Chain A
Amino acid sequence: MRSSLLGTVLLTFAIAFAFAGVLYSNLSWIVVTVGILCAFTYAHMRFTAEIRRTDLEIERTVLDEMILADEPVGIKVAVLNRGQTAIRGTFEDLISSDCTISAGQNRVTAVLPPRSLLTMSYSITPQKRGSHNITGMKIEREDAFGLYLEDQIITQGTVLSAHTRKESFQTARKMAGREHLEFSGVSRSPAVVLRELEFEGIREYVAGDRARDIQWKILPKLGKLMTKTYRKEGVLQTMIFVDSGRSMRLEAYTVAKVDHALDLAVQLSNVLLSSLHPAGVAIFDEVKVLGKANPALGRHQFEKITRVLRSVPESFRAKDAETMFVEKPAANPQPRTKNSQTKPSENADKFLSTVQGLSKTRRGKGLGLGLDGAINDIIAVSKGREQLFIVITDLLSSREAVIAGARICQRTGNRMLVIHTYDDWYRKQGDASQAEEIERLYGNVSQSLKVEGLFRALGASYIRIGPADTASGIVRAIRRGRA
């Protein structure tokens, strides 16, 4: 509790009166001082009791169903004073530092009488995607005499989960129907949209075969009827995995990899759904799957995918941009040179060593952690139906899991497309004239090429992307066989 300006002025006068009493040897001044001190004492005790008996109920309503980054969202706050005393002061809703007020005011100066309601409405604009916490309400309270001030915080919070920017959805909408991401395979389900009949082989004629399937050309040669067989080819069930590990969420320069990956996932899933591919999405980090929408073709599938992608953790900016993730093989990490200009933070080192430890200890064909575990789960329930897994990852913290997933796909006859958000392209380029920087970039590229070779050897498709790559560009590259 602190004194207000008026309180300070009155206290100064009280002290001055006390001095006057001593100076003039007149106790009247002293008695007046006592009178003013009585007012202070009473105000303090009453204010303390009022604060202790505060009974507020705060109801915060978010007026918009879907919250998007850089788009205003309306918030209505109702404060009910259930106590017996009036509350005087300034009521301020504590919004996150990542949000700005776009309309209205989040603070109101008022006297809230007992058993009465105070409402305020305002709009905030989340500056970035992710969770934004309205931690509660701060009341700069003033006592009934105006002598004391006290900041009271009522922690009744609301979490706003802002999705990616509106432009990303607009792009997804524009791409739907125009772009096609064709991955076909053997269809075993009659529900799957039939695309075409792919030639499979020739067998002896069996009564009932269609005449147009008979291979007439080899009848003179063999002297018997042979029938061409076809297999049904249909669209594949596609699961898009978005890596939301720590390295993906690190915003080293203009855009975080996870934000780019999320935009791509939104747009690719819409392209797939518009081409009648059953599509789903899953978010994973180093150890677990954070959210999943199973592949489907329903009417509300895109809505489900959007809902899952909304829970992708937000990006964060490294302090002083000092954290560097250098791509190195996990098996034999290179010792760090003393005069290296990269200064990884201690937390990043601890994190990477933990993740490396996790990947090292896991050798068996168990259910796995994170991505590979999820792939195992999906394959287990797919009833032998061929699956396509699109993994958007930076191959830093989840490299082992992605490689394990590719192995599983190779073993089980499923397909995988790895979209590699190449780390060096997402960070500010250093002084390339320095030999160490060139060496680092060269080392990363060579490592990346090795990883690419490994994926191709495992039968997975691979494409390396940067922040400038759009979903339509990636789709075209895949269609032209560059992946």
Chain B
Amino acid sequence: MTRFGKIGRAAIVLGAAADLVAFSGVSVLKLTGIGVGIALAMLGLAYAYRQPGAIGMLMVSATAAASIEITSLQEVRELLTAVIGLLIPVSMLAWVSLTAEEDRIERHFRGRPLALTSVYGVLCVLSVPTTILVLSFFVTGVSMRITTMAEAAIVLLVAVAGGLLLTFERSAPAAVVAAAEEEPR
């Protein structure tokens, strides 16, 4: 069972930052925002403190989101930008920065949750083309008139509905069965 140490996680952070910079373009403002965010994430990782890591992740995400212009998720180019240039690095960054307090992380972080989350993320991004595909079967020509606002609404609707569906599963009560009470002393 391979585990991610701090160096491995730092490499992931740097890789995600490089990915975001590559897709965001290079300007002083963007580089400053992403740089400060990465520095905070690294500090959180170094001192095993989650909070600066979370702030760094938010800064990097916000800077990247402001830098990358995606107006539609119907085109393959923009879809790839959204997934490779934004969704995957942001998710990786979130994972690394939020687990900063752990010394080592097991690489197999629960197969079922990981698979379901991956499917959930992909479905959210592909929700717009899927919706248009379904609509095109019934109403011809609607797909040509769909706006960015409508796409945003579809993605958010799918994200919220999917999130609620996946987290609806209630946490089970304590798995430890009540043991017989000890004899009074």
- Chain A residues in contact with chain B, CB under 8 A? 1, 6, 9-10, 13, 17-18, 20-22, 25-49, 51-56, 58, 60, 62, 65, 67, 111, 131, 136, 144-147, 150, 152-161, 311
Q: Which 3 A-B pairs have the closest CB atoms?
A: A35-B90, A45-B113, A155-B178
Residue on B nearest A64 in the bound complex, by CB = B185
Residue on A nearest B90 in the bound complex, by CB = A35
Given A39-B94, A42-B113, A46-B110: A30 touches B171 (CB 8 Å cut-off): no
Residue on A nearest B118 in the bound complex, by CB = A38
Residues of A within 8 A of B51 (CB): 6
Q: Are A60 and B182 in contact (CB under 8 A)?
A: yes
Given A18-B156, A159-B182: A40 touches B163 (CB 8 Å cut-off): yes
Pairs across A and B, CB under 8 Å, 17 listed: A21-B65, A27-B78, A27-B82, A27-B155, A28-B86, A32-B64, A34-B121, A35-B87, A37-B160, A38-B121, A41-B116, A41-B167, A47-B171, A144-B99, A146-B101, A147-B98, A159-B183
Contact of B61 among A1, A36, A62, A159 (CB under 8 A): A36
Within B85-101, the residues touching A (CB, 8 Å) are 86-87, 90-91, 94-95, 98-99, 101
Given A54-B174, A158-B181, A158-B182: A45 touches B68 (CB 8 Å cut-off): no
Known contacts A34-B121, A35-B121, A159-B182; 10 further A-B pairs (Cβ under 8 A): A21-B152, A22-B152, A27-B151, A28-B70, A34-B155, A35-B86, A37-B124, A42-B95, A46-B110, A154-B174
Q: Are A30 and B152 in contact (CB under 8 A)?
A: yes
Q: Are B71 and A26 in contact (CB under 8 A)?
A: yes
Q: Are B124 and A34 in contact (CB under 8 A)?
A: yes
Q: Are B113 and A28 in contact (CB under 8 A)?
A: no
> B131: CB under 8 A from chain A?
no
Bound-complex Cα distance A29 to B63 (A): 10
Q: Are A55 and B152 in contact (CB under 8 A)?
A: no
Bound-complex Cα distance A25 to B147 (A): 9
A131 CB, nearest partner CB in chain B, Å? 7
Given A27-B71, A42-B114, A45-B110: A161 touches B184 (CB 8 Å cut-off): yes
Bound-complex Cα distance A9 to B52 (A): 13
> B117: CB under 8 A from chain A?
yes
Q: Are A36 and B166 in contact (CB under 8 A)?
A: no
Residues of B within 8 A of A31 (CB): 65, 70, 82, 86-87, 90, 125, 155
Q: Are A28 and B68 in contact (CB under 8 A)?
A: yes
Contact of A37 among B58, B71, B159, B174 (CB under 8 A): B159
A140 CB, nearest partner CB in chain B, Å? 13
B173 CB, nearest partner CB in chain A, Å? 8
Residues of B within 8 A of A48 (CB): 169-172
Q: Are A6 and B50 in contact (CB under 8 A)?
A: yes
Residues of A within 8 A of B121 (CB): 34-35, 38
- Chain B residues in contact with chain A, CB under 8 A? 50-51, 54, 58, 61-62, 64-73, 78, 82, 86-87, 90-91, 94-95, 98-99, 101-102, 105, 109-110, 112-114, 116-117, 120-121, 124-125, 148-149, 151-153, 155-156, 159-160, 162-163, 166-167, 169-176, 178-179, 181-185
Contact of A49 among B113, B120, B153, B173 (CB under 8 A): B113
A149 CB, nearest partner CB in chain B, Å? 11
Which of B72, B121, B173 has most A Cβ within 10 Å?
Answer: B121
Bound-complex Cα distance A32 to B58 (A): 9
Which of A10, A20, A26, A30 has most B Cβ within 10 Å?
Answer: A30
Residue on B nearest A158 in the bound complex, by CB = B182
Residues of A within 8 A of B113 (CB): 42, 45-46, 49
Residue on A nearest B72 in the bound complex, by CB = A27
Residues of A within 8 A of B176 (CB): 54-56, 154-156
Residue on A nearest B114 in the bound complex, by CB = A42
Bound-complex Cα distance A364 to B51 (A): 79
Bound-complex Cα distance A17 to B51 (A): 19
Residues of B within 8 A of A47 (CB): 171
Residues of B within 8 A of A25 (CB): 71, 148-149, 152
Bound-complex Cα distance A32 to B90 (A): 7
B124 CB, nearest partner CB in chain A, Å? 5
Bound-complex Cα distance A25 to B71 (A): 7
Bound-complex Cα distance A45 to B170 (A): 9
Bound-complex Cα distance A156 to B64 (A): 50
Q: Are A45 and B65 in contact (CB under 8 A)?
A: no
Bound-complex Cα distance A6 to B179 (A): 35
Bound-complex Cα distance A322 to B175 (A): 43
Residue on B nearest A139 in the bound complex, by CB = B174
Bound-complex Cα distance A30 to B86 (A): 10
Q: Are A17 and B159 in contact (CB under 8 A)?
A: no
Q: Are B102 and A144 in contact (CB under 8 A)?
A: yes
Residues of B within 8 A of A160 (CB): 184-185
Q: Are B174 and A29 in contact (CB under 8 A)?
A: no
Bound-complex Cα distance A18 to B156 (A): 8
Which of A48, A60, A311 has most B Cβ within 10 Å?
Answer: A48
Bound-complex Cα distance A390 to B115 (A): 75
Residues of B within 8 A of A17 (CB): 61-62, 65
Bound-complex Cα distance A56 to B125 (A): 40
Residues of B within 8 A of A146 (CB): 50, 98, 101
